[in-house]
Chain A
């Protein structure tokens, strides 16, 4: 065992507004280890994903074992260790959306941008994800671009919207 028992990792800049958000949440939850998931939610919303330094910071603040935090983060699909991209495009592949052509939309996106489902573009501008069902089957096929639901989407329409987002037009 190494003499320094502190978890190694870069210190987070205290002036960063995202760090301030997490610090405020930690204080609100009274640094209780049971509040891990709530705090991870705050961190994920602030950063878009969970960088290693942030996990280290939360681990230290809650006095939790690092493996416990890592285990929680990898168990839930909501949390991500890698960046999901500046802009996100979530394609629903539930039964209704699948029947209405979700696969064609995914194929069109991959053909146009070269991003496979679950991947992020090399410049981190756009991430493409798939969901089992977003509960909007009446709007099938549904696509969510930056938290905005696109109802009865067509491949052409989605490509056009995505190009506008990543600034190709």
Chain B
């Protein structure tokens, strides 16, 4: 296959055309922070963490939804990008009620890891402290809106991998919430197959199995990608 030459952080790379900047970076061990990206499902460029600078372009573009093009000169680690990563991370924390000390995902949380990575020590924005519901109607699982960051990974996994499309998003702006069916309690959903893939896809502790306590959550987000690859190989 023909490859195209691109430059990422002064490093010359031969990339496969048709791949996203994010894919090429990951193949070449160049770190790009992501939150809404999950290998195996479609990228939507929602979290704005993977923004990169491309020479000749004023805007920052999301690495997950931008395809590589010949002679692209990409920068992933400039002051401007680090500034935006910091802002985005702070906004994640300020939007809902993230309290690591009482969270099931403590130590297993991508949002927590992100905070450490960008060196988050304080948040410059006022916390919104919204009154969020906790849906415990499902016999096995819990959905806690307080810990949701609206990455929509559960929505896409349910739709693309399981094919049930139990989840979707209601409203817009700061009132957005994950919903099942007609905003019915999860336990009363007729489309949910209780497969549990959304648990593994969730980057935080927003969806978790009942009967576990703080810090006990075990997740395997890589399982989604494995499943999709096995499907392609199916004889």
Residue among B159, B180, B181 with the most chain A CB within 10 A? B181
Q: Report B-chain residues with C-beta under 8 Å of the C-beta of A1.
A: 190, 192-194
Is A139 engaged at the interface, CB distance under 8 Å to the other chain? no
Is A71 engaged at the interface, CB distance under 8 Å to the other chain? yes
With the chains together, A5 CA to B168 CA distance in Å? 18
A7 to chain B, nearest CB (A): 6
Please choose the segment from A13-21, A60-68, A100-108, A158-166 that sits at the chain B interface, where 4 or more of its residues have CB less than 8 A away: A60-68
Q: Report A-chain residues with C-beta under 8 Å of the C-beta of B182.
A: 7, 52, 55-56, 66-67, 69-70
| CB pair A70 B181 closer than 8 Å | yes
By beta carbon, the residue of chain B nearest A52 is B182
Interface string of B171-185 (1 = CB under 8 A from A): 110000001111100
| CB pair A71 B190 closer than 8 Å | no
Is A148 engaged at the interface, CB distance under 8 Å to the other chain? no
By beta carbon, the residue of chain B nearest A55 is B182
Is A74 engaged at the interface, CB distance under 8 Å to the other chain? yes
Is B34 engaged at the interface, CB distance under 8 Å to the other chain? no
Residue of B166, B171, B183, B193 touching A65 (CB-CB under 8 A): B166
With the chains together, A66 CA to B188 CA distance in Å? 13
| CB pair A74 B171 closer than 8 Å | yes
Q: Report A-chain residues with C-beta under 8 Å of the C-beta of B128.
A: none
Given contacts A74-B170, A75-B171, A75-B172, whether A67 and B194 have CB atoms under 8 Å apart is no
By beta carbon, the residue of chain B nearest A75 is B172
With the chains together, A56 CA to B181 CA distance in Å? 10
By beta carbon, the residue of chain B nearest A4 is B190
With the chains together, A73 CA to B182 CA distance in Å? 10
With the chains together, A6 CA to B191 CA distance in Å? 9
With the chains together, A8 CA to B181 CA distance in Å? 11
Q: Report B-chain residues with C-beta under 8 Å of the C-beta of A71.
A: 168-170, 179
Is A2 engaged at the interface, CB distance under 8 Å to the other chain? yes
Q: Report A-chain residues with C-beta under 8 Å of the C-beta of B164.
A: 65
Given contacts A7-B181, A52-B182, A55-B182, whether A67 and B193 have CB atoms under 8 Å apart is no
With the chains together, A4 CA to B159 CA distance in Å? 20
Interface string of B74-106 (1 = CB under 8 A from A): 000000000000000000000000000000000
Given contacts A65-B166, A67-B168, A68-B168, whether A6 and B190 have CB atoms under 8 Å apart is yes
**Which chain A residues in 16-61 approach chain B with CB under 8 Å?**
52, 55-56
Q: Report B-chain residues with C-beta under 8 Å of the C-beta of A2.
A: 190
A3 to chain B, nearest CB (A): 10
With the chains together, A4 CA to B189 CA distance in Å? 11
**Residues in chain B within 8 A of chain A (CB atoms):** 159, 164-172, 179-183, 190-194
**Residues in chain A within 8 A of chain B (CB atoms):** 1-2, 4-8, 52, 55-56, 65-71, 74-75
Other A-B pairs beyond A4-B190, A5-B190, A6-B190, 10, CB < 8 Å: A1-B190, A55-B182, A65-B168, A66-B181, A66-B190, A67-B168, A67-B182, A70-B170, A74-B171, A75-B172
What 7 A-B pairs come out closest when comparing CB atoms?
Answer: A67-B168, A65-B165, A71-B168, A66-B181, A74-B170, A74-B171, A70-B182
